[in-house]
Amino acid sequence: MANLDASLREQVRVLGEGLGRTMSAARGEEFLALVESIRTLSKQVHQGEATSQSLSQMLNDLDDEMLLPVARAFTQFLNLANAAEQHYRARERVVEDYRAGEQPGLTLLLDKLKAEGLAADVIYKSLVEQRVELVFTAHPTEISRRTLIQKYDLLDDCLTDYEACPSDKSRQDVVQRLEQLIAQAWHTDEIRSQRPTPVDEAKWGFAVIENSLWEAVPAYYRQLDEQLVSLTGKTLPLDAAPIRFASWMGGDRDGNPRVTSRVTQEVLWLSRWMAADLYHRDIVRLRAELSMHEASDALVERVGPVREPYRVLLGQVRERLRATLDWLKAQLDGKPYDDERILFEVEGLREPLVLCYESLCDSGMQVIADGLLLDLLRRLATFGMNLLRLDVRQEAPRHEQALAEATQYLGLGDYAQWDEQRRVDFLLHELTNPRPLLPERWPCSDETREVLDTCRVVARERADALGAYVISMAAQPSDVLAVALLLKTSGLERSMRIAPLFETLDDLERAPKVIDGLLSLPWYQEYTSGRQEVMIGYSDSAKDAGQLAASWAQYRAQEAVTHVCAEHKVHLTLFHGRGGTVGRGGGPTQAAILAQPPGSVQGRLKVTEQGEMIRFKFGLPALAERALEVYTCAVLEATLAPPPAPKANWRELMDKIARDAVEGYRALVRDNTDFVRYFRQLTPEQELAKLPLGSRPAKRRASGGIESLRAIPWIFAWTQVRLMLPAWLGSDLALERAQSRGEGDALREMIDAWPFFASNMNMLEMVLAKTDLSIVKEYETLLVEAELQPLGELLRSRQEALVERLLALRKQSQLLEQVPLTQQAISVRNPYIIPLHQLQSELLARVRACEQNQVCSANQDLLERALMVTMAGIAAGLRNTG
């Protein structure tokens, strides 16, 4: 760890000492000594100087009452280490970890593009027209409570003050404040007492904007403008917004019965209220600043010959925002309210601000115009009047059920039994029929009523408040037309983006045919106005076929869909449903975008940001600013200087690798009769359901096996025991067979010259570095029955063989040689994670014994709470969960 930044090491030390004093004050010196002895022994185990059995014995000897505080001690330290690392990353502008020589930056990219002969105007036009949409989702992978996140954010401010302290006295004051915050965190429950509602999740998303992005967005655009002025002499237009934000929080109803039409409507109103409130605060500040009297003729004509024309106009804007806030409050309270001053359109706010901006510039005060006023205009271009555009997601079978009930009610037969052609003919006939399909109220099931009520919310809402209607399990053109008809039936008179989501291997292979079928329909071509959004699912395809095979299927589907849309002269936006972990499409943003098929980006990208990754990328303004730069750079490079298309022999080899990977993955996960039992005995998958992370159930169906389990808990469970199986299983067999065929040199060539394959191998290396087979073995010994343990031995041997092959392929002596920050982050946390794994396995054994009435403890609730704390601590230590 000699390379670990000295200031980061110092801050971890200060926070650790503060936690030690807090624990001593709360539980006494004897407890602190116990924790320190466990930490010391764990460090010796990590360094090979002691056996894990000695640590296990020390923890097993603890009374039930001691398990929870010990688990909390190590979890708290990992959270504090994360806070220090987050501060370091924000200061050094390192939002993600890259391999040596890969760190992206706008200045470097612009120099590279110019060197490749691209004209400045071409670069400028591409940036102005760029449309990146980042979609915040409420997937339950943010394990930290919001109240604790807020305390960690305050810690960040203190660490900034600590670095800037001019004297020992001032540093002492900062340390005292740090210890206050550490004590507050220690005396706050880590685990929520109940699951958050969908509205709670949406409010968490709003808080990320209020606390970080509201500051980061204009700061980033100031930086971008500086680069553009240097390059072209021009800044971005005032209404340009290369990056915008959307949300699934309150709109994603796929398998989540708690997201109802009422919830969606409430979230839409709350989002507008939050936007109006933030703009109101900005206008109050801006009005205080713009006290000058010189103004353009246009502004004087607008407000009259007054002493302070800017303040007069901004005062009018302030009152309109107040009226808007009052109206939205009334909507939320279910009360009537009317006021002609309500701001509905973004132009109602933009027009007076632009008038002020132009007046200041015309009057020789551009330096003033380019301050708070320009920041406000940049925010308005980015967030609009709604803060976050809300996507709506529902699964295709729910739409089929609604139409089946409708056709039966109308005496037309059963839509669910019709073939695809009959469905398409019926849907197109009704879509072009001026009369409504159904009366406003008709007898139907509660499920269908909810689908129609959601469509009515969409129909009533303003277009700029909404993003796309995403269809899970989309399999045919009729699935998209069905949504269009249900929206029309509910009163929607405009077109809406409808995005089919292709998830499983079969779905991905079918995607180009589905899109071609849709775009071949003249009615649908006109409906789309020449633009189509297609969502690619990463989570379920990886759960279905394994990471490597799923990644290749996603690549080929994107290639094919891009080709289909080009043939139909339709502009495609690919929507990537990526998660934070490798098993769900995670990885460094730049590498992921540049790994896309050439021609598939074209200045447009939509991608999910999920769970804890929202906090890690956007939780602090400096981190958010850097994340925005990474997205802009990657999309610009993928558009103007895309990677070359893969060679024919690479594609052939990749086809073979993917087939082998699927075989290796499914032979175990699907065909091995012992696998499900082993998985459920080894991991805390069953216990995970008790952890109140998010509003959505862990399973799509209450009953069912692996196939019904959502991708997030599937990956979360394997991560907890450090086997990381979903991210590497199948790759082992694929690389073994490729190398046995003598294709090692071809694989190295693909790593060196094909960003797609390089990205997959980089992510594989990272996840293998996070596995710990000795920890897996300890879980297995304690929790898995003897007849299943040979399966565990097989898995460990397959993982070990994969590590050896990957190192040989890369010609490295150890994993992550080229990514030292990640390597160090894993190493420095391990002594604190190891005791949590030991505690978790012991707690699983005690809780399960109690549930089976073998040895029932009087402290069962305490044990279960301690178990949840270990889950939180391990997740914090590994920095990604699902």
Of 773, 789, 778, which Cα lies nearest the Cα of 839?
778
CA 66, CA 780: separation in Å to the nearest integer? 24
The C-alpha torsion from 151 through 156 and 162 to 164, rounded to 10°, is -140
Q: What is the sign, positive or negative, of the torsion defined by CA atoms of 409, 411, 412, 417? A: positive
| Beta carbons within 8 Å of 157's beta carbon, 6+ residues apart | none
> What's the token pair of residue 96?
């993600």
Q: DSSP string spanning 517-546?
A: HHHTSHHHHHHHTTEEEEEEESHHHHHHH-
Instruction: Round to whole Å and give the CA distance between 84 and 8.
Output: 7
3-state SS, residue 476: coil
Residues 6 or more apart from 20 whose CB is under 8 A from it? 32, 36
CB atoms within 10 A of CB 853: 7
Q: 422: which 2 tokens?
A: 């009959």
Q: 3-state DSSP helix/strand/coil percent for the chain, to nearest 5?
A: 65, 5, 25
DSSP secondary structure letters along 301-332: HHH-S-S-HHHHHHHHHHHHHHHHHHHHHHHH
Looking at residue 851, its amino acid is: E
CA distance 135 to 127: 20
If you count DSSP H runs as helices and E runs as strands, how many of each does the chain have, helices first? 39, 8
Which distant-in-sequence residues (6+ apart) come within 8 Å of 468 by Cβ? 391, 392, 496, 497, 498, 499, 533, 575
Neighbouring-strand partners of residue 243: 132
Q: Among residues 280, 399, 488, 543, which one is catalytic?
A: 543
Is 699 known to be catalytic?
A: no
Q: Of the listed 46, 87, 139, 280, which one is catalytic?
A: 139
User: How far is the C-alpha of 143 from the C-alpha of 684, rounded, in Å?
Assistant: 15
Active site residue 203: no
Q: Which residues contact 735 (CB under 8 A, 6 or more apart)?
A: 657, 747, 802, 805, 806, 809
**Separation of alpha carbons 682 and 718, rounded Å:** 9
How far does CA 785 lie from the centroid of its chain?
37
Torsional sign, CA 625, 627, 629, 635: negative
Q: Is residue 882 within 8 Å of residue 85, measured between CB atoms?
A: no
- Which helix (H) or strand (E) covers residue 393, if one does? strand 389-395
Catalytic annotation, residues: 139, 543
